[in-house]
């Protein structure tokens, strides 16, 4: 009987943090901002793809995929769409992959990766 007089909690308090919109650290065509990444993307795209996948703790074959770019973009709240990710990978794969690697490098330097 003593338990019947106590209120039953049916709703838990909620806490939400509004994530600020992010942005790419460099543009899609900013190859000159990191010549090492640009050269790697130009002459050994597979190596750069494996580096990106390794940075993201994913399979080596996943680095240059739409899913990887979308995962990264959503993780850092960078505006865009899956269609935009597809188009950048499909028509400008080296630039897209270089942008992703430059962004990873910059976020590592800032301590936010």
pLDDT of residue 5: 62
- Residue 49, judged by CB atoms within 10 A of its CB (0-12, 13-18, 19+), counts as buried
pLDDT of residue 61: 81
- Residue 86, judged by CB atoms within 10 A of its CB (0-12, 13-18, 19+), counts as middle
pTM: 0.80
Q: Element (H or E) spanning 68, and its range?
A: helix 66-75
Q: What does the block give as tokens for 88?
A: 């950048």
pLDDT of residue 3: 56
For the chain, what are the domain ranges?
Answer: 35-110
One digit per residue, the tens of pLDDT, for the chain of length 113 reads: 555 567 776 776 666 555 678 999 999 999 889 999 999 999 999 999 999 999 999 988 888 899 999 999 999 999 999 999 999 999 999 999 999 999 999 999 999 98
């Amino acid at each position: 009987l003593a338990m019947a007089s106590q209120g039953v909690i049916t709703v838990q308090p909620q806490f939400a943090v509004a994530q600020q919109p992010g942005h790419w650290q460099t543009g899609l065509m900013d190859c000159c901002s990191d010549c090492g990444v640009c050269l790697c993307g130009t002459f050994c795209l597979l190596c750069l793809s494996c580096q990106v996948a390794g940075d993201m703790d994913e399979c080596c074959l996943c680095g240059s995929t739409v899913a990887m770019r979308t995962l990264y973009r959503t993780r850092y709240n960078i505006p865009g769409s899956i269609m935009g990710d597809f188009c950048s990978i499909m028509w400008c794969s080296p630039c897209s992959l270089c942008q992703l690697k430059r962004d990873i490098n910059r976020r590592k330097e800032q301590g936010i990766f």
